[in-house]
Chains A and B, each alone.
Chain A
Amino acid sequence: MEFLSYLISGISLGSVYAIIALGYTMVYGIAKMLNFAHGDVIMVGGYISICATSYLELPGWLSVLLAMAVCTVLGVVIEGLAYKPLRQATSLAVLITAIGVSYFLQNAALLIWGASPKGFTPIIPATNAQGEPNALPLFGGQVSISYISLLTMGACIIIMLALTFFTGQTKLGKAMRACSEDKGAAQLMGINVNRTISVTFAIGSALAAVAGVLLCSFTTSLMPTTGSMPGIKAFTAAVFGGIGSIPGAFLGGVLLGIIESLAKAYISTQLANAILFAVLIIVLLVKPSGLLGKYVPEKV
């Protein structure tokens, strides 16, 4: 039963990673760049949600929408100002710029919201007004799943399915896949590549905002550096599952959360991250394209 509760907390943590990883993988798939600032957009989303609930006194669900709106704009602006001018540049230059953007966001947050951790009210509190836990008891109460965990898992699955439908069935989604393969040929089809990339950043950043609110609902506190570690882990998850693949990011995120949670419980809290990355290295040695990454032979 103990194992089951670790597993549940692993899956819900993993669902947060998966939502972040989905954003990472979308942006990587289409723009072919690692947006290292993605994790920091999560942090901004968290702060916006705090501001919305404490200063504007908006309800929790509305604060999520506001955070999504702000992060969407932020993501599109970052892409337009920092990455778009580098479209022809080497990937190393873009990577360094992304790291720069990441530091910029962290320091901007430091200036605006200060260095000390801010308390975050979970969008579903741990207990209800009567002091009973907001959780679903299983096996006659031996294990329980908190509502926030259920919400996170549900959100993650819905987002994954929605993205799969979007890229597979809609005109804009197919255009994204075309851009991801060959931007020149996509332009020859009449696809506006720059706009398509902007839309991708908008989607990725909106997902980051959702992830930010959910993540902070688990950690219940927020600092300017809160986004970086989950950002890196989600990136790992995306690579683990096969970068560019939507089901891959989902699977990678959930597995990573489970591994982390079980490693913390049964091996060592300090070593959990080391174990996580060790697993990644082993998977990549065995299958360099990640769990669900595909290898497509080029025909000339």
Chain B
Amino acid sequence: MLKVNDINVYYGAIHAIKGVSFEVNDGEVVTLIGANGAGKSTTLNTVCGLLKSRTGSIEFLDKNLASIPPHKIVELGMAHVPEGRRVFQQMTVEENLEMGAYTQPRVSIEPNLERVYEQFPRLKERRKQVAGTLSGGEQQMLAMGRGLMSNPKLLMLDEPSMGLAPILVEQIFDIIKQLHKAGTTILLVEQNARMALSVADRGYVLETGKIVATGTGDELLHDEAVKKAYLGG
């Protein structure tokens, strides 16, 4: 579904991503783990077109994304729930969700809304509330719900559990499992490596802009080096 081949991304003089390649197959949950500043968010932002790679190629559903602007990439079926939620603070919960369905035909908005409200009943209670006044956890649910509104074929989640209480983290991961079961392909970036690897089919370990290890979720969970660096020994 997604093939990333030898991308190099720079912020001015800073070389943030150094020849990264990876792929995500149909129906898989793939996780990208790594320390702060490893380049995980940069990688996702490059995949969705907000940043450009100087080399290599990114293919999504067999299309080369090089010359496609980010808003068109969304139309192809990619949704990105960015780091830090980035919900529209001054718009209501429902308006935020509508924005998530911006590329969708009008008739599909209603059923999608119902589905998202079913997954996140809290959002339904607060549908008319301005997003800026939601709690951090509620904003995270909103960000995820907004991503799901476009019926994505590939859902990219950048640290969905950041700043959430353990019970909410469980809930977010439950939803990831549900989506997986329903056939959504997911690319998951997480600080919580243990949780991420336990739901993922495969994982990649990113270190200062390079991929240093890869394997199935289980393999990485039991890899000595990974244990030491990311799972607290």
Contact = CB atoms under 8 A, between A and B. Distances in A.
Interface of B: 48-50, 69-72, 74-75, 79-80, 82, 84, 86-91, 95, 98-100, 102-103, 132, 134, 136, 139, 146, 150
Contact of A188 (B74, B84, B98): B74
Nearest to B130: A296
Given A181-B88, A185-B88, A190-B150, A171 B102 contact: yes
A188 B132 contact: no
B102 A190 contact: yes
A185 B48 CA distance: 11
Contacts of B103: 189-190
Contacts of A300: 84
A191 B70 CA distance: 9
Contact of A299 (B49, B74, B132, B146): B132
Given A175-B99, A297-B132, A299-B132, A192 B89 contact: no
A184 interface: yes
A187 B75 contact: no
Contacts, number: 76
Contact of B70 (A177, A187, A299): A187
B89 A193 contact: no
A298 interface: yes
A296 B139 CA distance: 15
A2 interface: no
A213 to B, nearest CB: 34
A177 B90 contact: yes
A185 B90 contact: no
B99 A181 contact: no
Contacts of A175: 99, 102
Given A178-B99, A188-B50, A297-B132, 6 more contacts: A174-B99, A178-B91, A181-B88, A184-B50, A187-B71, A190-B75
A296 B90 CA distance: 8
